[in-house]
Amino acid sequence: MTEKRKILVAVDGSEKSYHAFSEALEYGEKAEITLLAVVDQSLPNDQEFYLSPEYQILPETDEFETIAETYLNQLVASTDVKKPVKKVTAEGDASKQIVEYAEKHAIDLIILGRTGKNAVERMLLGSTSAYVTKHAPCSVLIVN
């Protein structure tokens, strides 16, 4: 297996995001880890960016950034990670933002948790993990 030096972990406030981040930490000290939280304000809150109820999105763009940054800081603090972790927030379609970030920053591996959407939601909104897997410029690991 090729050494993964630049890892992007797409997080959404779910328990599976925590597992995805934990998986990234297993890649050792040499890996550069970036956490990416994407908020799509055009969708209802419980559909994408996914943030847990305690991180509900507010209408103002600057407020979503503050909430997402707080979540990312808490996620990092919940582990015993000793190296720096880059934390990035973005707005827009989560699937596209993840792929675009990976392309622009020469990411070697994308890790994301499998979402809890039901079949109807996946049909109407699409699956983030399916889109990322199909369009990513690198390997993708889906954590269950």
| Predicted structure pTM score | 0.81
Q: Does position 132 have pLDDT exceeding 90, yes or no?
A: yes
Express each pLDDT in 24-50 by its tens digit.
998 877 889 999 998 776 655 443 444
Q: Does position 135 have pLDDT exceeding 50, yes or no?
A: yes
Q: What does the DSSP assignment read for the chain? A: -----EEEEEE-SSHHHHHHHHHHHTT-TT-EEEEEEEE-TTS-TTTSS---GGGPPPSSHHHHHHHHHHHHHHHHHTS---S--EEEEEES-HHHHHHHHHHHTT-SEEEEEPP---HHHHHHH--HHHHHHHH-SSEEEEE-
**Most confident residue range from 2-11, 28-37, 81-90, 133-142:** 133-142
Domain 6-143: assigned CATH number: 3.40.50.620
